Structure 1
Amino acid sequence: MSYREEWRLYEASDRSDELIHRPMTEEFLFYQAVSNGDIEAVKRNCEQERFMEKEGVGQLSRNQVTNMKYHFVIGTAMITRICCQNDMELELAFRLSDFYIQKLDDLHTVQEIQNLHDEMVIDFTEKMRQQKQKDVTSKHISACKDYIYCHIKERITVEQLALEYGVSTSYLSRLFKKEVGVSLSTYVRNKKIEVAKDLLKFSQDSMIDIANHLSFSSQSHFIQQFKEVVGMTPKKYRDSHHRVKWDKTVSRNSTDMIGTN
């Protein structure tokens, strides 16, 4: 019997005694607390041992320890993505994720996994809290960052943003440089390069596709800008960092989800 046939048989069977999965809203509220740096809410969740609860949690393995490890990996991946969406540096987020998931190899009890989970979520939360404390900006600059985040695939200019928020280009340029430390155009370019780095790592998109996807004026302009920021060409970066071969559609959906990649 094929896996598809086995699934159809499973789907049609009586599963009235099967656990009902907990609402996704609850999970996302927890992930949101982590990404918002809400350390008190996250600690309360850990104290309640919500990660340990069997009720509403899917069974991914018949072995309890393996099941917990699978859920740990899924939770870490979700937290990583949501923290990236909320402006945690991508490399920092991925390094944290890799570090904690690798630690699972050495764990053999449910309690050990619970302890590692609590340490992982608190670590992510603390880093997000510290970042948000540093990122105190004016209303206009905060709005500009949000706009850039939502329109990263488009061509974005100072004039366009000034018109959007009803201020002069000179005022917006001065304020942005003062509060962020770099010019607005440099900030936009750097954010686009962050997206490009993830596409190079996680997708099969060609250089011209990535350049067009992020509204660079040409492939050569994209390559020149990438090398200026990263210190190597996009091809060299892909050769040394490429991780998974995703279908283009999946990678672009993931990009839209986190607002960068």
Structure 2
Amino acid sequence: MNTNKELNYMLFVQLEEDFKRTEIKSEFSRYDDIKNGNVEKVKENYEYIKDHYYDGKGMLSDDLLRNNQYHFVTGTGIIARICIDGGMNHDIAYTLSDIYIRRCDKCRKPEEIIDLTGEMMIDFATRMREITKSGSVSLHVRRTVDFIYKNLGEHLTLEMAAEHEKLNPSYLSKLFAKEMKMPIKAFIMKARITTAQNILIFSDFPISEITASLGFSSQSAFSAAFRKFTGMTPMQYRSRFSDEYPFRSLSDKNG
């Protein structure tokens, strides 16, 4: 087991109940802003994080510096994986993650890690913004993608997205399919499944809670959709990655 995996394990096996109660939407919406390259929103999020850094976080060490380091390492790993899902080169994402983890290791004050957290988040978001721009995706489609990720728990439709952008549904449908290489309906499902994959790997949220938070009508509907995309049930997927990411607590009894 390498150092990064050991740190991930030490972080997650000690998660406190308060952290588990954090809503999935609020926990992952900040990651979506980074993935979508929404730099201004990421900066806004960081201003809030600075003043509420310890809210909902378990104390993973009696040493505050180490506690912050453990949280930083895991958060950076999650962001790297999510940015890969969003189109960032695999080697770039994980090398950038390693750079920030080494910087974190050199920090000598808890406050330095909080500052480094903001720098890391903004760096990833800025790179994702450039990736989005280089893909020649129009503003309407980028905003539609952002709208979808922020409302995955809702009963999303083409009409809702079109109303949000003040566009004719037929026009948005054609524009979206042309630029994203898939219909909006398919993109919504893909976004739900890729988000579910990250939640399954990087948390111990029960399957029932993931189902509800991502807008599926039932747990069986979620499992069927997940299997169609991945070839596995949600619990099979979680179990498969348990050796690579051995940080989940054993409290998940609802899968």
Name the counterpart of 1:211. Answer: 211
Q: Is the 8 A contact 2:83 2:93 kept in 1?
A: no
How has the CA–CA distance of structure 1 residues 77 and 236 changed in structure 2, closer, same or farther, with 3 Å as cutoff? closer
Percent identity of paired positions between Structure 1 and Structure 2:
24
- State the AA in 2 paired with 1:223: S
Name the counterpart of 2:249. Answer: 245
User: How far apart in 2 are the matches of 1:147 and 1:210?
Assistant: 19
Name the counterpart of 2:132. Answer: 132
TM-superposed CA distance for 1:244, in Å, is 1.6
How has the CA–CA distance of structure 1 residues 247 and 98 changed in structure 2, closer, same or farther, with 3 Å as cutoff? farther
The answer to whether residue 168 in structure 2 is matched with residue 164 in structure 1 is: no
TM-superposed CA distance for 1:99, in Å, is 5.8
Question: What count of residue pairs does the alignment treat as equivalent?
Answer: 183
User: How far apart in 2 are the matches of 1:146 and 1:160?
Assistant: 13
Residues 33-74 of structure 1 show CA distances to partners (whole Å, capped at 9, x for unaligned) of xx779xxxxxxxxxxxxxxxxxxxxxx999xxxx6x876654
Name the counterpart of 1:88. Answer: 83
How has the CA–CA distance of structure 1 residues 150 and 124 changed in structure 2, closer, same or farther, with 3 Å as cutoff? closer
Q: Which has the higher contact order (CA 8 A, sep 6+)?
A: 2
User: How far apart in 1 are the matches of 2:172 and 2:221?
Assistant: 26
How has the CA–CA distance of structure 1 residues 235 and 134 changed in structure 2, closer, same or farther, with 3 Å as cutoff? same
Partner SS state of residue 89, structure 1: helix
- State the AA in 2 paired with 1:134: S
RMSD of aligned alpha carbons: 4.6
Residues 161-195 of structure 1 show CA distances to partners (whole Å, capped at 9, x for unaligned) of 11222222211111001111111111111111122
TM-superposed CA distance for 1:146, in Å, is 1.6
Based on CA coordinates, which of the two structures has the bigger radius of gyration? 1
Q: TM-score, normalised by structure 1?
A: 0.51
User: How far apart in 2 are the matches of 1:134 and 1:151?
Assistant: 25
Name the counterpart of 1:178. Answer: 178
Name the counterpart of 1:232. Answer: 232
Q: Is the 8 A contact 1:204 1:245 kept in 2?
A: no
**Structure 1 segment 25-40 matched on structure 2, within 5 A:** none
- State the AA in 2 paired with 1:238: R
Name the counterpart of 1:147. Answer: 147
How has the CA–CA distance of structure 1 residues 76 and 225 changed in structure 2, closer, same or farther, with 3 Å as cutoff? same
User: How far apart in 1 are the matches of 2:200 and 2:84?
Assistant: 16
TM-superposed CA distance for 1:140, in Å, is 1.5
Any gaps of 5 or more consecutive residues in structure 1?
A: 1-31, 38-59, 111-116, 249-261
